[in-house]
Amino acid sequence: MTKLKVATCSLAGCFGCHMSLLDIDEKLFELVKAVEFDRSPITDIKHCGPCDIGIVEGGVCNAENVHVLKEFRRNCRILVAMGACAITGGIPALRNNVDLWDCFQEVYHYGIGLEKGQIPNDPELPLPFDRVHPINEVVRIDYFLPGCPPPADAIWKFLTDLAAGREPKLDYDMLHYD
């Protein structure tokens, strides 16, 4: 049996969803029998090639997030939004009602311990958006797996359903937004 190719990434997220993925513990052995990881924090591969499933944690808060997300969409047959941030913007979206200029001032001018702070303008730094957006506002998303993070069991159930070609279905206890 050919293994399913899976890529994962974290955009404006905290990697908590990835930690929850690792939290499936001993089932990881079963997982790697069925799945081969392409780009992922787990493999440290930097770009993803053609994949069966792409799993995206985190929302879109800057230009680089868009590049990564679009690469995933181009390469992944099925794209999954995993966790509150990817689905609603989540905790990073708490900044959405703060003016971006105020954010920069707070971070680079008035932050504790800063002296003569300057706003960085290096082209290597991704430029932030006015607001943080869920990923379905940037590319088409096929499946949503909510939770902050989704419980390990939910991720397992979701992935095994998908791998088996079933429509993923979560029991009540596995569906959470927090």
Partner 1 sequence: MPAQDVCDLPGIVARWHRDPANLVQILREVQESCGTIPSDTLDQLAKLLDVPRVRIESTASFYAFFHAESHGAYEILFSDNIIDRMAGKEALKQYFCERLWLEPRKLSEDGLVYVDDTADIGLADQAPAMLVNGYAIPSLDKARLDLVAELIRARKPLAEWPPMLFEVPDNLCKPGPLTGEAFVPGAALKAALARGAEATLAEIDASNLRGRGGAGFKTATKWASCRKAEGEAHYVVCNADEGEPGTFKDRVLLASHADLVFEGMTVCARVIGARLGLLYLRGEYRNLLEKLKSVLARRREAGLLGQNILGEQGFDFDIEIHLGAGAYICGEESALIESLEGKPGKPRNRPPFPDRCGYRNQPTVVNNVETFACAAKIAERGGAWFAALGTPQSAGSKLISISGDCKRPGAYEYPFGVTVRQILIDCGAEDAHAVQVSGPSGTCISFREFDRRIAFEDLATAGAFMVFSRERDMFEVARNFTHFFAHESCGFCTPCRVGTSLLRNIMDKLAAGKGSAYDMNEMKHIMHVLRGTAHCGLGHTAANPVVQTMEKFPDAYEKRLKRLDFEPAFDLDGALQTARLITGRDDEWAHLADD
Partner 2 sequence: MTKTFTLDGKVIPFEEGETIMEAAAAAGVYIPHLCHHPEFKPHGSCKLCTVNIGGRLGAACTNRAAEGMKVESETEALNADRRALTQMLFVEGNHICPSCEKSGNCQLQAVAYHLGMLTPHFTHFYPARDVDASHPDVLLERNRCILCELCVRASRDVDGKNVFGIGGRGIKARLIVNSASGRLADTDMSVTDRAAEVCPTGAIIRKRHGFTVPIGQRLYDHHDIAEVPVAGMERPKK
If the CB atoms of residues 33 and 109 are measured against partner 1, the closer one turns out to be: 109
- Shortest separation between residue 52's beta carbon and partner 1, angstroms: 20
Which of the choices partner 2, partner 1, none does residue 121 contact, using the CB cut-off of 5 to 8 A by kind? partner 1
Q: Is 69 helix (H, G, I), strand (E, B) or coil?
A: helix
Q: Is 54 helix (H, G, I), strand (E, B) or coil?
A: strand
CA distances from 50 to 13, 70, 78, 140 (A): 24, 13, 11, 17
Q: Which among 87, 91, 74 is positioned nearest to 39, based on CA atoms?
A: 74
Number of other CB atoms surrounding residue 63 within 10 Å: 12
Cα–Cα distance measured from residue 75 to residue 49, given in angstroms and rounded to the nearest whole number: 6
Cα–Cα distance measured from residue 140 to residue 34, given in angstroms and rounded to the nearest whole number: 26
Binding mask 86-105 for partner 2 (x = CB under 8 A): -xxxxx-xx-xx--------
Cα–Cα distance measured from residue 106 to residue 110, given in angstroms and rounded to the nearest whole number: 5
Q: Which of 24, 66, 80, 93 touches partner 1 by CB under 8 A?
A: 66
If the CB atoms of residues 45 and 98 are measured against partner 1, the closer one turns out to be: 98
Which of the choices partner 2, partner 1, none does residue 32 contact, using the CB cut-off of 5 to 8 A by kind? none
If the CB atoms of residues 20 and 75 are measured against partner 1, the closer one turns out to be: 75
Q: Note whether 124 binds partner 1 by CB under 8 A.
A: yes
Q: Note whether 70 binds partner 1 by CB under 8 A.
A: yes
Which secondary-structure segment (H or E) carries 158?
helix 152-163
* Residues at the interface with partner 2 (CB under 8 A): 81, 84, 87-91, 93-94, 96-97, 131, 133-134, 136-137, 141, 143-146, 148, 172-173, 175-178
* Residues at the interface with partner 1 (CB under 8 A): 63, 66, 70, 100-101, 104, 119-121, 123-124, 126-131, 133, 137-140
